[in-house]
Structures are given as C-alpha cells and as structure tokens.
Amino acid sequence: MEPFSAVEVIRAKRDGLRLTDAQVDWVVDAYTRGVVAEEQMSALAMAVYLNGMDTDETARWTAAMVDSGEVLDLRTDRPTVDKHSTGGVGDKITLPLAPLVAACGAAVPQLSGRGLGHTGGTLDKLEAVPGWRARLSTDEIVAQLADVGAVVCAATEGLAPADRKLYALRDVTGTVESIPLIASSIMSKKIAEGADALVLDVKFGSGAFMKTVDDARALARALVGIGVSRGLRISALLTDMSVPLGRAVGNAVEVAESVEVLRGGGPEDVVELTVALAREMLALAGLPEVDPARVLASGRAYEVWARMIRAQGGDPDAPLPAPGHVHVVPAPATGVLTGLDAYAVGVAAWRLGAGRARKEDPVQAAAGILCLAKPGDPVVAGEPLLELHTDTPEAVPAALAALEGAVSVADSAPTRGPLVLEVVRG
C-alpha cells in the first residue's frame, strides 16, 4: 500500500503548505512509476506554479528527480566541469567552449538537448556536421573524456527519467514558468551527470526564457542554491539575450561561426562570452592560472574540436549543408542599427526550418539567418541586412511576418549594457 495519496499531496501544496521530504520523495517516485496519474501531477505542478516551493523543498524535489535514475561517474584524471545555458538565440557557445576548456586542461562532459520553439538546440546544430552522432553509451562518453577531454552528446536514457516525464507534462499544462520547477529540472540532469563543478549561463531579455533581470537573478540564485546543497562547486553568469549572439542563427550557420571562433576569429560577443564562461569554469575546476583567451588564439582549441568531432563519427573538414534558397531582407532606412529583436529573429529562424514546434519534428540543417549587421553598425536603406536560409521557400513569408517590427534604425548608436551583467556564486 502506498504511504500517501496523490490527492493529499496536491491539497497540501494547493493550500500553500510546504511538502515534507517524505511527500516529495514519494510523489516524484510514484509519478515516475505511473502510480500518480498525469492529471494529478498536472494539478500538483499548477499548485507549485501558483504557490512556489522554498529552498529546502526545491532541493529535495531535485534530489528525488536525480534518484529516479542513474548517476553517471564521468571522472577522469582531469578535473571535470560542465556548463549549462538557459537558452537563447544564436547561442552556439557550447560548441567553441567545450573544446576550449578541454584544451586548457579540464574535462568537459556536455550532455545537451535539442531546440524547441525559438531557442536552438546544441545537438541539432552539431548534427549539421556530416557523420556526427549525438547518442553515445556511458562507456563511450568516459573513454572520449579521457582521450579528447570534451564530449557533447545526448543525455543517456537513464538520466533523471522523472524530469524527462515531468518536463513534457509542464510543456502542455502552462506550468513551464515556475522557478522551482525550472531550477530542479536543470539541476537534476546536471547533478546526475556527475561533474565536479558547474557554470550556468542564465540569460535575460527578449530572446531568453526569463525576460527580466530580476527573474533571471532569482533563477540563478535558485540554481546555485541547489548546487550548494549538493556540495557542487557552482556559479552563474547573468547574460544579455536582447539581441542574437553573434551573426548566425540556425544550425549549420552556427557551426560555421563556431569554427571561426575556434580558429581565432568570429564575432566579438561570441568570443567575449566564450572566454568569460571558460574563465569561470577553469576557476571552479582549480585551473585559474590558465588564460583561455591565449589558448583560443593559439589554435589549440580548434585541434580539440576536430578530435571531438571525429571521435563521434563526424568529419570536421567536410562542407556544411548549404540552403536551397536564400532570401535577402534589406535595411529599412539609412543610419545606425539600434535594434534587432532576438525573439523575433529566433521565431523567424524556427519558421524557416531551423527549429521545431514539437519534439518529434525534424529540422533543416541548412536553415537559419545570417545577421549582416548588429546594433551599433551603420546600415544603408535597401542594402542587405539579413539573409534567410531555408530549403522550403514557402516558409519565407511566415519568417518575414515574424520579423515585422524587429529592426529599428536611428541617427546615432544605441547605448548597450554589458554582455555579462553579474556573477552569482555559491
């Protein structure tokens, strides 16, 4: 006989009570086993959304989700450090960051996901590389970490199954935007990966999940608090996502831009954020004396990238997929570009085929957008401003509709805040 009923747990949270450790452990386990029905967990998720969970309650919920599956042991003779981003537009940072930190002496097990809606997925981007495969066994992950120092792949099936099930439910019940549930979802997977340290990139702005700095800060503090409760070395950077990162948004186009960065070039904002995250990761890994900017400029990070791609069946020298159709969007006026809304660009790229509306939808490797100018750049009316890449030309009108009102031009350059606003440390 079950020690609790789902209804009593739902009522407790509905009435604003703190769930006991025993209630949390039971309801997460029972939901994973199918004892708690989907409609009951929907009601509980809504009660959590409306009434929240305190720090200890959230930490216990996270631990219960970790305990629903396996915990990996990815230790090598190097210190292990991971990174997680809350998602954005043009956020290809994992691609140059993982090989860079590995080239600096740490091991980086980056278990990543796929895109949904206007935010891109790391695995979708890397699958634009001919032959590259996302699914690895635990033994393959450990062997690649020991040999190459970096692996970017899909999470194993046994990792936090309670979170995988609950995440899908939250997505269709209007309960995604709950900070305790977001924090426990992110941290349960990261804790189950078994890394020694974790750096979080918590984004704010139109293209981010958290639109305001205050909400992003609250999420960062919740994430760091969970990590500290588990003895994890952890910190979080609050970063601006009001305009796309870099100039490429999509799949193959973001891989190409990442390779530019690894070869010592690339857009300044991508390089800045890559190096900032690398510095924080190396500090937590016990390697603060290594200068990632110097390592990036030396080309050693690109060598690790090529080895990482080859280790997963890919060809780093193969041409990336090219789009069947390119549509050029001209600048609407002459002056200085003052606005390029990240959310609008992300939705447009999604409609071109770079993203998906449902998890089972396919994506186009060549789909995406190239931003030929960024805020602060001069533009001339009628000259190319954006390139829309797609294999389905019939998708262009919907992408153009998403971009309506996304671009603004003025006589003078805008004043922009810092890319990295602050760091929250454990």
Please state, in angstroms and rounded to a whole number, the distance separating the CA atoms of residues 393 and 363. Answer: 15
Closest CA to 266 of 93, 82, 86: 93
Indicate the DSSP class of residue 155: P
268 CB burial (10 A radius; 0-12, 13-18, 19+): exposed
Distance of CA 321 to the CA centre of its chain: 23
Q: Which residues contact 414 (CB under 8 A, 6 or more apart)?
A: 336, 338, 339, 375, 376
Q: Is 185 an active-site residue?
A: yes
Q: Which residue, chain included where needed, has tokens 């290594």?
A: 290
Q: Which of 13, 84, 203, 279 is catalytic?
A: 84
Reading the block at residue 341, the tokens are 């809304």
Q: Is 327 an active-site residue?
A: no
Backbone angles phi, psi at 233, to 5 degrees: -75, 120
Q: Which of 60, 164, 165, 170 is catalytic?
A: 170
Label the pairing between strands 378-379 and 248-250. Answer: unpaired
Q: Is 358 an active-site residue?
A: no
Q: Is 165 an active-site residue?
A: no
Q: Which residues contact 303 (CB under 8 A, 6 or more apart)?
A: 103
Q: Which of 25, 124, 163, 196 is catalytic?
A: 163
Q: Which of 125, 189, 190, 233 is catalytic?
A: 189
Q: What DSSP line would sit under 20-49, residue for residue?
A: PHHHHHHHHHHHHHTSS-HHHHHHHHHHHH
Closest CA to 258 of 109, 100, 388: 100
Q: Which of 85, 185, 188, 206 is catalytic?
A: 185
State the CB neighbour count (10 A cutoff) for residue 378. Answer: 13
Three-state DSSP state, 336: strand
Asked if 82 and 129 touch (Cβ cutoff 8 Å), the reply is: no
Q: Is 298 an active-site residue?
A: no
Backbone angles phi, psi at 219, to 5 degrees: -65, -45
Please state, in angstroms and rounded to a whole number, the distance separating the CA atoms of residues 106 and 153. Answer: 17
- Residues recognised as catalytic: 84, 163, 170, 185, 189
